[in-house]
Amino acid sequence: MSDACSTCSQKEGCSGESCPGMPENKHNIRNVIAVMSGKGGVGKSSVTAMLAVALRNEGFKVGIMDADVTGPSIPRLFGLHGRLKNGEKGIQPAKTRSGIEVISLNLLLPNEDEPVIWRGPVISGVVKQFWTDVEWGELDYMLVDLPPGTGDVPLTVMQTLPLNGIIVVTTPQSLVTMIVKKAIHMADRMNIPVIGLVENYTYVHCPDCDKRIELFGHDNTEEATGKMGVPLLGQLPLDPEFAAYSDRGEIENYFEEKTDVNETVANVARLISKKYRNEVQ
Ligand SMILES: Nc1ncnc2c1ncn2[C@@H]1O[C@H](COP(=O)(O)OP(=O)(O)OP(=O)(O)O)[C@@H](O)[C@H]1O
Residue 278 has pLDDT above 50, yes or no: no
Choice from 35, 45, 199, 262 to test ligand 1 binding pocket (greatest atom count within 8 A of CB): 45
Name the β-bridge partners of 91. Answer: 86, 134
**pLDDT given at position 204:** 93
Q: Specify which of 42-51, 107-116, 177-186, 208-217 reaches the highest per-range mean pLDDT.
A: 42-51
Atom of ligand 1 nearest to the CA of 68: 27
Mean pLDDT along residues 150-163: 90
Find the helix or strand (DSSP H, E) in which 184 lies.
helix 178-189
Measured from the Cβ of residue 88, the count of other Cβ atoms closer than 10 Å reads 6
Mean pLDDT along residues 130-149: 94
Residues belonging to the binding site for ATP are 38-45
Measured from the Cβ of residue 132, the count of other Cβ atoms closer than 10 Å reads 12
**DSSP conformational letter for 24:** P
- pLDDT confidence tier of residue 40, bands split at 50, 70 and 90: confident
Atom of ligand 1 nearest to the CA of 148: 25
Q: Which 3 state secondary structure label does DSSP give 103?
A: strand
Measured between alpha carbons, how far is 112 from 83 in angstroms, rounded to an integer?
A: 9
- pLDDT confidence tier of residue 182, bands split at 50, 70 and 90: confident
Query: ipTM for the complex?
Result: 0.97
- For 20-45, letters b (16+ CB in 10 Å) and e give ebbeeeebebbbbbbbbbbbeebbbb
Q: Which residues contact 280 (CB under 8 A, 6 or more apart)?
A: 30, 31, 60, 140, 273
Share of the chain above pLDDT 70, in %: 88
Which domains are seen in the chain, by residue range?
26-279 (3.40.50.300)
- Closest residue by Cα to atom 1, ligand 1, is 238
pLDDT (tens digit, 9 = 90+) per residue, 57-87?
A: 999 999 999 999 888 899 999 999 988 888 8
- Closest residue by Cα to atom 31, ligand 1, is 243
User: Phi first, then psi: what are they for 194, rounded to 5°?
Assistant: -90, 115
- Ligand 1 center from residue 201 Cα (angstroms): 9
**How much is the pTM?**
0.90
- Closest residue by Cα to atom 12, ligand 1, is 43
